[in-house]
Amino acid sequence: MRMSTRKPQNDQRKPNRHKGDSGAGSGQNWLYGNHPVRAALANPHRQLRRLLGTVDALRELGPLPQGLGAETVDRQRLDQMLPAGAVHQGLALLAGPLPDLDVTEACSVVEGERNLVVVLDQVTDPHNVGAILRSAAAFGARAVVMTDRHAPPDSPVLAKSASGALEVIPLVRVTNLARAMDHLAQLGYWRVGLDGDAPRTLAAARPSGPIALVLGAEGEGMRRLTREACDEIVRLPISGAVESLNVSNAAAIALYEVAREDG
């Protein structure tokens, strides 16, 4: 595996998690649904502001973190205060933003652990990003790195789609993705891009060591500079019955394949 001896440069500004947040006050967000709320309550890095819930939903939560009270409301109140169609399951939590992490903080290689990172090139659908976070958590990835622009904010929709994974997988936003990928190489990662036209499959490539899986947006795929920053381009062995996979499905399969090879 190719390793760079250049010293990493902290040329990535820390991500801005406040963009697109909704709620009372800058940087605060209403999270809703059983899994996102439970995960946020268990996350010591979350600032917990207000917890609202139905009698039954609050009873099932059990003991709350010290200093946090709960307000009992009915489902109609939650329906009115949350986005239309929100599946809140009787729970809503007003929380502060997660801590900002840069590439070095989130992705530094740890000996003896699985060093696996997902890189997203302008994947804009919050449902897809949330599903990718969930798969990243399931297969032991260290972080998800994505662009600050042309990407969804840390919204309640993303949190709900991640089903709690947003609390355990750092979501690192960078201003220049190609530069961030160079930074990952300096940290020791082999950058593997996914493209349906690649000559060989991910399984045939059998990458080892620290791996950064790079996925592009649906339709457009990886941009030129992102592709050029990859050490290798591979594909998933899908049949000709479909042209491509949804990016979140492709991420889940690729994560499984790397985790399987890693043992």
pLDDT along the chain (263 residues), means of 10: 37 36 52 93 92 94 89 93 90 91 93 93 94 96 93 87 92 94 96 91 88 90 94 85 81 92 64
Question: 29-95: which CATH architecture?
Answer: 2-Layer Sandwich (3.30)
The class level of CATH for 103-262 reads alpha beta
Task: Confirm if 49 and 87 have CB atoms less than 8 A apart.
Answer: no
d(CA 44, CA 117): 23
Q: What integer pLDDT is reported at residue 13 of this predicted model?
A: 37
Ranges in the chain annotated CATH 3.30.1330:
29-95
How far separated are the first and last CA of the chain, in Å rounded? 18
pTM strictly above 0.85: no
Three-state DSSP at 186 gives: helix
- C-beta neighbour count of 24 within 10 angstroms: 9
Ranges in the chain annotated CATH 3.40.1280.10:
103-262
Q: For residue 106, give the H/E element and its range.
A: helix 103-107
Nearest to residue 22, comparing CAs of 32, 12, 13?
Answer: 32
Take residue 204 and report the two structure tokens written for it.
């045939």
Cβ-based burial of 149 (10 A; exposed 0-12, middle 13-18, buried ≥19): exposed
Q: What integer pLDDT is reported at residue 112 of this predicted model?
A: 85
